[in-house]
Structure 1
Amino acid sequence: MWLLILLIIAVCFIFYVKEVRLKLVSSPALAYFKRALPQLSQTEREAMEAGDTWWDASLFSGKPDWSQWLQTGKPALSERELDFIEHELAELMAMLDESQICTNGDLPPEVWQYLKEKGFFAFIIPEKFGGRAFSAQANSAIVAQIATRSLSTAVTVMVPNSLGPAELLLHFGTPQQQQAWLPKLADGSALPCFALTSLDAGSDAGGITDFAVVCKQEFEGEMTLGLKVTWQKRYITLAPVASVLGLAFKVYDPDQLLSETTELGITCALIPTDHNGVEVGPRHDPMGLAFMNGTTRGEGVFIPMHWVIGDVDGIGKGWRMLVSCLSAGRGISLPALSAGTAQLSARSSTAYCSVRRQFKQPLWRFEGVQAALGRVAGLSYSIEATRQNTAMAIDLNKSPAVITAIAKYHLTEMARIAINDAMDLHGGKAIQRGPLNYLALHYQGMPISITVEGANILTRNLMIFGQGATRCHPYVLKEMAAAQEQDADIALQQFDKVFVQHLAHSSKTFLKATFNGLTCGVFSSAPVAGEVAYYYKTLTWYSQILAVLSDLAMLVLGGKLKLQEMRSARLGDMLSQLYLGSCVLKKFEDDGRQRSDLPLLHYAMHFHLNAFEQAYSGFIDNFAPNGLKTLVKRWFMPFGPGIGGPSDQLITELCHSLYHNKLTLARVSNLCDTSGHTGLEALEQAFKLFPKCEQGLQKFERWQKAYQAKLLALSTEEQLALAVEECILDEEERELLVSWFESSRQALSVDEQG
Structure 2
Amino acid sequence: MITAIILIALLGVLAYFRAPVLAWTVGIAAWLAGLPYLCGATPSIAVWAVFAVIAAVLNLTFLRRLVFTGPVFGVFRKITPAMSQTEQEAINAGTVWWDRDLFSGKPDFKRLLSFPDPKLTAEEQAFLDGPTEELCAMIDDWKITHETKDLSEEAWQFIKDKGFLGMIVKKQYGGLEFSNYAHAKVVTKIATRGGTAAVSVMVPNSLGPGELLQHYGTDAQKDYYLPRLAKGLEIPCFALTSPSAGSDAGSIPDYGYVCRGSYTDPRTGEHHENVIGIRVSWEKRWITLAPVATILGLAFKLYDPEHLLGDKEDIGITCALVPTEHVGVSIGRRHYPGGAAFMNGPTWGRDVFIPIDWVIGGRDYCGQGWRMLVECLSVGRCISLPAMSVASGKLATFVTGAYARIRDQFGLPIGKFEGVDEAMARIGGYTYQMESAQDLALTGLDIGEKPSVLSAVLKYHNTERMRKTLNDALDVHGGKAVVLGPRNYLARAYQAIPIAITVEGANILTRSMIIYGQGAIRCHPFVLREMRAAMDNDLKEFDAAITGHINFVISNKVRAFWLGLTGAAFTGSPVSGPTARYYKQVTRLSSAFALLSDMAMFSLGGSLKFREKLSARLGDMLSGLYIATASLKRFERDGAPEEDLALVRWAVESALYDAQQAMHGFLANLPNRPLAWALRRVIFPWGLTLQAPSDHLGTQVARLMMAPGASRDRLTRGMYLPQSESDPVGVLPHALQATLETEPIEQKLRKLTRDGKLKALTHRERLDEALAAGVISQTEFDAVTRARKLKRDVIMVDDFDMTMTHHDDKLLERHIF
Q: TM-score, normalised by structure 1?
A: 0.95
Give the aligned partner of residue 89 of structure 2: 46
The alignment partner of 1:283 has SS state of coil
Question: Which stretch of the first structure deviates more once superposed, 9-18 or 543-552?
Answer: 9-18
**Aligned residue pair count:** 740
Show the counterpart of 1:621.
668
Aligned to 1:6: none
- 1:336 has 2:387 as partner: yes
Question: Does residue 1:308 correspond to 2:341, yes or no?
Answer: no
Structure 1 stretch displaced more, 620-629 or 444-453: 620-629
Post-superposition Cα deviations, 1:522-541, rounded to whole Å, max 9, x if no partner, equal 11111100110101110011
Q: Is the 8 A contact 1:683 1:747 kept in 2?
A: yes
Shift of the 16–147 alpha-carbon distance from structure 1 to 2, 3 Å rule, reads same
Q: Which residue of 2 aligns with 1:73?
A: 116
Residue pairs, 1:156-175, within 5 angstroms: 156-175=200-219
8 Å CA contact retained: 2:259, 2:308: yes
Q: Distance in 2 between matches of 1:151 and 1:374?
A: 25
Matches of residues 390-469 of structure 1 in structure 2 within 5 Å?
390-469=441-520
* 1:592-624 Cα distance to aligned partner (Å, 9 max, x none): 111111110011011101100110000000116
Q: Does 1:518 align with 2:565?
A: yes
Partner of 1:666: 713
2:262 paired with 1:257? no
Amino acid at match of 1:74: D
Q: In the aligned structure 1, how far is the partner of 2:672 from the partner of 2:274? A: 68
Q: In the alignment, what sits opposite 1:3?
A: none
Structure 1: distance between partners of 2:765 and 2:79: 83
8 A Cα contact 1:21 1:497, kept in partner? no
| Residue aligning to 1:535 | 582
8 Å CA contact retained: 1:624, 1:632: no
CA distance in 1, matches of 2:82, 2:351: 36
Structure 2 CA distance for aligned equivalents of residues 680 and 305 of structure 1: 52
Match of 2:237 among 187, 190, 193: 193
Q: Percent identity?
A: 43
Candidates 141, 148, 161, aligned match of 2:192: 148
Query: Secondary structure at the residue paired with 2:117?
Result: coil
CA deviation map 1:614-639 (0-9, x unaligned): 10000000116445645432321212
User: Would the aligned equivalents of 1:360 and 1:701 in 2 still touch at CA under 8 Å?
Assistant: no
Paired residues of 1:166 and 1:182 also in contact (CA < 8 A): yes
Partner Cα distance (2:594, 2:60) in 1: 22
Match of 1:113 among 137, 144, 157: 157
What secondary structure, in the 3-state scheme, does the structure 1 residue paired with 2:780 have? Answer: helix
Unpaired runs of 5+ residues, structure 2, are 1-10, 26-58, 264-270, 802-817
Distance in 1 separating the partners of 2:136 and 2:197: 10
Cα 1:730–1:634 shift into 2, 3 Å:
farther
One-letter amino acid of the structure 2 residue matched with residue 394 of structure 1 = L
Equivalence map 1:200-599=2 (5 Å) = 200-219=244-263, 220-280=271-331, 282-486=333-537, 491-599=538-646
Tell me if structure 2 keeps the 8 A contact 1:36–1:555: no
- Match in the other structure for 2:33: none
Please provide the CA RMSD for this pair: 1.8
1:16 matched to 2:21? The reply is: yes
Deviation at 1:236, TM superposition (A): 0.1
Whole-Å Cα distance in 2 between the matches of residues 170 and 21 of structure 1? 50
What one-letter code is carried by the residue in structure 2 that aligns with 1:436? Answer: R
Counterpart residue type for residue 554 of structure 1: M
Contact 1:248 1:266 in 2 (8 A): yes
Q: Whole-Å Cα distance in 2 between the matches of residues 97 and 717 of structure 1?
A: 34
User: Hey, what's the Cα distance between the residues in 2 that align with 1:99 and 1:684?
Assistant: 21
The 1:26/1:683 distance shift into structure 2, 3 A limit, reads closer
Could you say if the C-alpha distance between residues 14 and 735 of structure 1 is closer, same or farther in structure 2, counting changes exceeding 3 Å? closer
Distance in 1 of aligned mates of 2:121 and 2:20: 54
Label 1:99 to 1:21 Cα distance change in 2 as closer, same or farther (>3 A): farther
Q: CA deviation at 1:550?
A: 0.6
Alignment match, 1:137: 181
Task: Work out whether residues 38 and 562 of structure 1, in 8 Å CA contact, stay in contact via their aligned partners in 2.
Answer: no
Is the contact between residue 283 and residue 295 of structure 1 (CA under 8 Å) also seen in structure 2?
Answer: yes
Q: 1:661 to 1:601 in 2, by over 3 A?
A: farther
SS of residue matched to 1:278? coil
Aligned mates of 1:142, 1:559 — CA distance in 2: 43
Conservation of the 8 A alpha-carbon contact between 2:339 and 2:494 = no
Distance verdict in 2 for CA 1:632–1:307, change over 3 Å = same
User: Retained in 2: the 8 A contact 1:25–1:499?
Assistant: no
Give how far 1:263 is off.
0.4
In structure 2, relative to structure 1, the CA distance for the partners of 1:627 and 1:50 (3 Å cut) is closer
Distance 1:288 1:501, change over 3 A: closer
- State the SS of the aligned residue for 1:64: coil
Q: Structure 1 residues 17 and 661, CA, compared in 2 at 3 Å: closer, same or farther? A: farther
Counterpart-to-counterpart distance in 2, 1:564 and 1:35: 21
Deviation of 1:38 (Å): 4.1
Q: Which has the higher contact order (CA 8 A, sep 6+)?
A: 1
- Counterpart of 2:812 in structure 1 is none
Deviations 1:150-192 (A, max 9, x none): 0011111100000000010000000000001001101001000
Q: Distance in 2 between matches of 1:137 and 1:71?
A: 18
* Residues in 1 aligned to 2:19 and 2:340: alpha-carbon distance in whole angstroms: 62
Letter in 1 for 2:766: Q
2:134 maps to a residue whose letter is E
Q: Give the whole-Å Cα distance in 2 for the aligned partners of 1:257 and 1:346.
A: 59
1:296-351 CA distances to partner (integer Å, 9 max, x unpaired)? 00000000111111110110011111011011111000110000011100000000
Comparing 387-396 with 361-370, greater Cα deviation is found at 387-396
Counterpart Cα distance in 1 of 2:529 and 2:20: 23
Shift of 1:39: 3.0
SS in 2 for 1:51: coil
Please report the TM-score for the alignment, with normalisation by the length of structure 2: 0.88
* Higher Cα radius of gyration: 2
Question: 1:307–1:207: structure 2 CA closer, same or farther, 3 Å change rule?
Answer: same
Residues 1:750 and 2:755 are matched in the alignment: no
Partner of 1:689: 738
Q: CA deviation at 1:660?
A: 4.4
Could you say if the C-alpha distance between residues 35 and 560 of structure 1 is closer, same or farther in structure 2, counting changes exceeding 3 Å? farther
Instruction: Identify which range, 625-634 or 327-336, moves more after superposition.
Output: 625-634
Quick one: which of 728, 751, 760 aligns to 1:702?
751
Deviation at 1:29, TM superposition (A): 1.9
Give the stretch that moved more between structures: 270-279 or 655-664: 655-664
Whole-Å Cα distance in 2 between the matches of residues 266 and 15 of structure 1?
Answer: 45
Distance in 1 (alpha carbons) for counterparts of 2:569 and 2:20: 28
- 2 CA distance for matches of 1:725 and 1:21? 100
